[in-house]
Amino acid sequence: MAGQKNEKREKKDKFFQRIYDTFDKYSRALLVQCDNISARQIHATRKELRQNDSLMLMGKNTVIKAALAKRIAKPDPEDSDYETRSKTWTPLDKMEPLGKLLKGNLGIIFTNRDLPDVKDIVDKHAREAPAKVGAVAQCDVFIKPGPTGLDPKQTGFFQNLQIPTKIVKTQIEIVSEKQIIWESEKVGSNEAALLQKLGINPFSYKLKVVHVFDNGNVYGPGVLDITPESIIESYKKVLHHVAAISMEANYPTLASAPHTILRSFKNLIAVTYETDYTFEQAEAAKNRAAAAPVAASGPAAEEAPVEEEPQEEPAEDIGAGDLFGGDDDDY
């Protein structure tokens, strides 16, 4: 008995030391929820993460918190391992927020790689799951039109859910698409029974990212969906709003300057149509407009009454922000 206790104690100490050393090796982590996850999923995920220089740590939160607290705390001369720790200990305050996140059935994926790449690995190992009675739906579920393979005696399932059907070649066929489950609502017995008969597994279970830890900063899982393209689009939208406000307020800015200059150039071209004044760029623009292809006329166009061609009017003056030292109305 004593030998078994010593073996368990030694195993626990090794696990504790492994966690202790982990905090120095990695600066990023994903905290994932492990509800409804099979051991096979965890094993497959952990194996692929290991191949990508990442570590998935599953264990008791109390042990992990204790190892983290010890790693952060400065060695105390009264500690039994003071001599060993004092030689290698360095401050690691950035890891302190990690301990506050360890609540519930969570696992930690430590990594130094790009976090979106690690999330892709986690999402890859999802498993299909049937709709169980009383379970909260993860998403909306629709029944698609088409043959079901069920005999006419089982039309009751469809009638209870008000799904339109018809009998084609001795089997039930769904006429049109029908939603039978709504996201965040509980699954009913009729819906679960029908999906089971149709062989549909509408849900899936995987490790769900609930917190993102990056060098002492904590974020929500939404940051993993941010891409360079989405950032550029956000900047474009902001610049568009800045330019619009600047032009409306008649206050020139770097964002509005190109638009102001273009508007002023259009106004100058409009002046050349109404006066004898012209310039090289205006003539080039008018030549391009004259050379543009004319829409082909069809029968409908021939029957239409001939209307007098409207005289081109100057572009609408929205204000040039006093960029040229005066109002556009001075032209």
Architecture of domain 2-126: 2-Layer Sandwich (3.30)
Nearest partner of 219 among 4, 20, 28, judged by Cα:
28
Please list the rounded mean pLDDT of every run of 10 residues in the chain (331 residues). 72 85 92 87 92 87 89 87 85 89 89 92 89 88 90 85 89 90 90 89 89 92 86 90 90 88 88 87 85 62 50 43 42 36
Please state the separation of Cα 317 from the chain's center in Å. Answer: 41
SS3 160: helix
Q: Per CATH, the architecture of 131-204 is what? A: Alpha-Beta Complex (3.90)
| Predicted local distance difference test score (pLDDT) of residue 204 | 86
* Tokens encoding 264: 């002023």
Closest CA to 106 of 184, 29, 219, 12: 29
Q: Is 174 helix (H, G, I), strand (E, B) or coil?
A: strand
Q: Is residue 35 left, alpha or beta, with left meaning phi > 0 and alpha meaning psi from -120 to 50?
A: beta
Is this prediction's pTM over 0.75?
A: no
Whole-angstrom Cα distance, residue 112 to residue 97?
A: 18
Domain ranges, ordered by start, for the chain: 2-126, 131-204, 230-291+311-330
pLDDT of residue 3: 64
The pLDDT of residue 321 is 39
pLDDT tens, residue by residue, 136-175: 888 899 999 999 888 888 888 788 888 899 998 888 999 9
Instruction: Please tell me the distance from the alpha carbon of residue 60 to that of residue 192, in angstroms, as a whole number.
Output: 35
pLDDT, tens digit (0-9, with 9 covering 90-100), for 304-324: 554 554 444 444 443 433 433
| pLDDT at site 34 | 86
pLDDT of residue 45: 92
Q: Report the Cα 129 to chain-centroid distance in Å.
A: 23
CA atoms of 49 and 53, how far apart (whole Å) = 7
8 A C-beta contact, residue 255 and residue 243: yes
Yes or no: say if 194 and 180 are a contact pair by the CB < 8 Å rule: yes
